[in-house]
């Protein structure tokens, strides 16, 4: 990884060579730690929260942390590869319009990844301190991000092989568990319905 010197550039670049798994622990210890962290996760604000990290994915295996993100109704997060990489969920293989922007609770990723430098490995583009419980942000919920507006979609987001390789099997079991799916610990898929800009440290709020 390398750090960008010009503050107009992404702060950090991740490449596949920088991927690593968490130190080995007993499965029971990890389960206990994750379960203990649920109380803190449940305390996330329900209506208005903060943006803790914005991550672009310019190409496969790379991550760019940026202070300011630009959202576009047709491109998603500008500089991200969502549009060009396509999707296995569409019949024509083109990008799925309902998976433009993936949001994850910052309390969850902090519990699983630990070091903030490892958050981008989860693959989400935005990490926020907001309650993502199914009942709090059901499909159709609109969220204001700076001057942009996004809408929660019905496309599920679950832990996969890559998530397991980076954070371990217990982490996948945690986010894919019954309570994990109810709390949407792995995150949510959204689409951009109004273009605009938002920034780290800015507010995300339900409309």
The distance from CA 104 to its chain's CA centroid, rounded to whole angstroms, is: 4
Q: Could you give the count of Cα atoms lying within 13 Å of 23 in the half-sphere of its Cβ?
A: 3
Q: Which of 141, 143, 158 is nearest to 205 (CA)?
A: 143
Residue-wise pLDDT tens digits, 75-113: 999 999 887 775 667 666 666 789 999 999 999 999 999
Contact status, residue 158 vs residue 186, Cβ threshold 8 Å: yes
What pLDDT score does 114 carry? 87
Q: Contact 172/164 with Cβ under 8 angstroms?
A: yes
Instruction: Please give the average per-residue pLDDT across 58-82, as a whole number.
Output: 92
DSSP assignments along 5-31, one per residue: SSTTS-SEEE-GGG--PPPP--HHHHH
Instruction: Determine which of 18-32, 38-52, 107-121, 183-197 has the lowest per-residue pLDDT on average.
Output: 18-32
Q: What angle do CA 23, 29, 35 make, to 5 degrees?
A: 115
The pLDDT value recorded for residue 91 is: 67
- Which domains are present in the chain? 2-206 (2.40.33.20)
Q: Is 142 strand, coil or helix?
A: strand
Residue 25 pLDDT > 60: no
């Amino acid at each position: 990884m390398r750090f960008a010197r010009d503050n107009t550039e992404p702060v950090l670049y991740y490449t596949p060579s920088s991927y690593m798994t968490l130190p080995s622990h007993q499965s029971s210890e990890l389960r206990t730690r994750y379960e203990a962290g649920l109380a803190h996760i449940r305390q996330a604000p329900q209506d208005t929260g903060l943006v803790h990290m914005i991550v672009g994915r310019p190409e496969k295996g790379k991550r760019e942390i940026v202070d300011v993100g630009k959202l576009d109704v047709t491109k998603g997060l500008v500089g991200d590869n969502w549009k060009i990489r396509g999707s296995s969920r569409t019949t024509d293989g083109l990008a799925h319009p309902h998976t433009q922007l993936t949001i994850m609770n910052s309390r969850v990723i902090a519990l699983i990844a630990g070091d903030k430098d490892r958050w981008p490995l989860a693959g989400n583009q935005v990490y926020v301190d907001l309650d993502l419980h199914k009942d709090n942000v059901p499909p159709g919920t609109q969220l204001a991000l700076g001057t942009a507006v996004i809408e929660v979609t019905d496309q599920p987001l679950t832990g996969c092989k890559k998530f397991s390789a980076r954070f371990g099997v217990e982490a996948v079991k945690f986010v894919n568990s019954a309570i994990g799916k109810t709390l949407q610990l792995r995150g949510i898929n959204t689409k951009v319905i109004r273009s605009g800009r938002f920034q780290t440290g800015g507010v995300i709020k339900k409309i």
